[in-house]
Amino acid sequence: MIEGGKKVCQITGILPGGIAPGIMEALNQIGIINLHIAAARTIMLQDRKGIFGLASTTTIVEDPADILTFIIDSEHEDEVLDLIIMKGELTLPGRGTVFSEDVNLFKEHGRCSQNTVKSSGREVKEDPLMNSELMGISCIVQRGEGNDIARVALDTGTCVPVITFGHGTGLRDKLGLLRIAIPAEKEVITVIASSHDADTVMNMMIDAGKLDQPGKGFIYVYPIGKGIVNMKITRGMPKHAASMEQMIAAVDEIRGNTTWRRRTGGDAHDTQKKREFLSDLIDYTFICNEGRGEDLVKIAMAAGAAGATISKLKHRCPEDSDYNKMSRAREGCYMIISEEQVETITDAIEKEGAFDDKTYGQILIRPAPKACTYLGG
């Protein structure tokens, strides 16, 4: 059991290009002024017809997206989710995804604490489309391989997946001259699935990317509180009065949950029983000013971390805010470690200045109950 830190709520919005600025402005008005944003892309399916309408194929199309993240006190979770949904019109198919998580703000620089929300005082009624039976799936693979694995989410109707870029460290840095055989550039795929289907979707992604084979990647699941998920997996106008996504949402509302959508598992269930998984791990996220992440990840690895994926972030805050003393260019360093390593790694990077005015570090941890990668043998 990890001791220390404080429980906070992390809100994540996966938003089509152009929506984020208006949402951030609305959040600033209620006191949420310390935010991070990352550039990403979402993928969808589109039918393409051949000559004379023959030999049609389904291809992947990409769209730019922004991933907006920030932390608040848990008591304001519903109010803030409601504001983002309303401002971004996220109840409309294709407008984006937003979800909340319970995370532990384990240690931070004084200016990297949670936002203080000024309540609007208006009554908040939970949207009927809000789903509280969700799991997140995060998959890290070599650059260029993300679309094929992310397509599992589209082919199963799970959600619109989002992909970001990162820089990997770990085994590659221990191989000397052989390191040139393993690309450093990574793609990080995020899929939001029903908790009933997360295992099945995870196994299908493992199969698609051969993630249980040497050097192919790493995948894990993590719990989500609640949210609205973008399920408009195909581009184009619907051919009927209502799209499939709208009909599914209507049945969800009538049934009061998503259990009716549960898949039986089939071959994926059989594969899962034979596959060896890692369990009860910790997703350890260290956010800092750009340029500090690489050195501090090396310290974390010397203290026991197997490796990390480092991604670029942009810090956003009002011009007249004290948060402006932090660099606008930030980095997120993502590590999967054991619970016993949390204190050791934190102590090691703290001694190297992880929370000083040069670094402005912040550690967020959450459980990663199940993971898969090549385990040797």
Residue 1 falls inside a structural domain: no
Phi-psi region of 373 (alpha: psi -120 to 50; beta: other; left: phi over 0): beta
- Evaluate whether residue 377 is within a structural domain: no
In a domain, 303, yes or no: yes
Report residue 315 as tokens.
Answer: 């810090």
Tokens linked to 96: 């984006």
In a domain, 159, yes or no: yes
For the stretch 312-330, pLDDT in tens is 999 999 988 888 889 999 9
197 in a domain, yes or no? yes
CB-neighbour burial class of residue 160 (10 A; exposed 0-12, middle 13-18, buried 19+):
buried
Quote the CA–CA distance of 61 and 63 in Å, as a whole number: 7
Query: Residue 369: which residues within 8 A CB-CB, separation 6 or more?
Result: 221, 222, 223, 279, 280, 281
Give the separation between CA 236 and CA 47, rounded to whole angstroms. 9
Q: Which residues of 60-85 are buried (b: 16+ CB within 10 A; e: fewer)?
A: eeeeebbbbbbbbebebbbbbbbbbb
Q: What is the model's pLDDT at position 244?
A: 55
Residue 308 CB neighbours (<10 A): 27
Within a domain: residue 121? yes
The predicted structure's pLDDT at residue 11: 98
Tell me what pLDDT residue 240 has: 46
Could you give the angle at the alpha carbon of 109 between the alpha carbons of 108 and 114, nearest 5°? 60
Q: Is residue 61 part of a domain?
A: yes
pLDDT score recorded for residue 54: 58
What pLDDT score was predicted for residue 324? Answer: 85
Count of domains forming the chain: 1
Residue 51 is part of which domain span? Answer: 6-372
The pLDDT of residue 376 is 76
pLDDT value for 186: 95
Residue ranges for the chain with pLDDT beneath 70: 1, 49-56, 170-183, 236-273, 377
Residue 10 pairs with which residues in a beta bridge? Answer: 71, 101
Quote the longest CA-to-CA distance of the chain. Answer: 68
Do residues 366 and 102 touch, judged by C-beta distance below 8 A?
Answer: yes
